Amino acid sequence: MTEQLFTDLVFWLFCLVTVGGAVYVLLSNHVLYAAYGLLVVFLGVAGIFVFAGAEFVSAAQVMIYVGGILVLLIFGIMLSSRRKARHDHLKVENAPRGTGVLIAGLLGAMLILLGSRLAFSGKPTGKWLAVKSLGFSLMTNYVVILEIIGMLLLMALIGATYLAKDDQ
């Protein structure tokens, strides 16, 4: 009984960290700090994937989102910010906070409504079969999408480098 309680407590802790990071991103006025909040969200989601029994997806979450996309985002922010600009050049003028909270609440309610109507088959698949199937489909059916995403990330990196260069 106490082991189940501890497991539930750690799961809800990961959920709280994820939601807290998302609220921080929503309410942040500084782009770089919002990216750090996104880091907390990605790590919290990876922890939730571990509790769902999807260790491979959790590792992919950390490697792809934290190790790739978030680092590229922070790299782009750092490169595109000019030293000659004023001190608060990374600040963002947000819409009124009530509007953001209202939209987030409506989207959350929509997700809860849609999630309550889902039906799962309950037929388990083997762990290795699911990973093998995922890898096979990524390298056959979705290889064009992976190449396009890689090219988009490369273009974003080249664009950030171009914006960061001195105008000499």
> What CATH number is associated with residue 40?
1.20.120.1200
pLDDT on residue 82: 59
User: Is 42 in contact with 70 (CB distance < 8 Å)?
Assistant: yes
Q: Say how far apart CA 18 and CA 86 lie, in whole Å.
A: 33
Instruction: Evaluate whether residue 20 is within a structural domain.
Output: yes
Is residue 93 classed exposed, middle or buried when 0-12, 13-18 and 19+ CB atoms within 10 A define those classes? Answer: exposed
Instruction: Evaluate whether residue 87 is within a structural domain.
Output: yes
What is the tens place of the pLDDT at every residue in 105-122? 898 898 888 878 777 666
Q: Into how many domains does the chain fold?
A: 1
Domain span at residue 83?
2-104
Instruction: Evaluate whether residue 155 is within a structural domain.
Output: no
pLDDT on residue 18: 93
Instruction: Evaluate whether residue 152 is within a structural domain.
Output: no
What is the tens place of the pLDDT at every residue in 117-141? 777 666 665 555 666 777 788 788 8
Instruction: Evaluate whether residue 81 is within a structural domain.
Output: yes
Instruction: Evaluate whether residue 40 is within a structural domain.
Output: yes
**Which residues are 91's β-sheet partners?**
30
What is the tens place of the pLDDT at every residue in 11-37? 889 999 999 999 898 888 888 888 899
Instruction: Evaluate whether residue 113 is within a structural domain.
Output: no
Q: Say how far apart CA 130 and CA 125 lie, in whole Å.
A: 7
What is the tens place of the pLDDT at every residue in 58-117? 888 888 888 888 887 887 777 766 555 566 656 666 667 777 778 888 988 988 888 787
pTM tops 0.85, yes or no:
no
Instruction: Evaluate whether residue 134 is within a structural domain.
Output: no
pLDDT on residue 21: 92
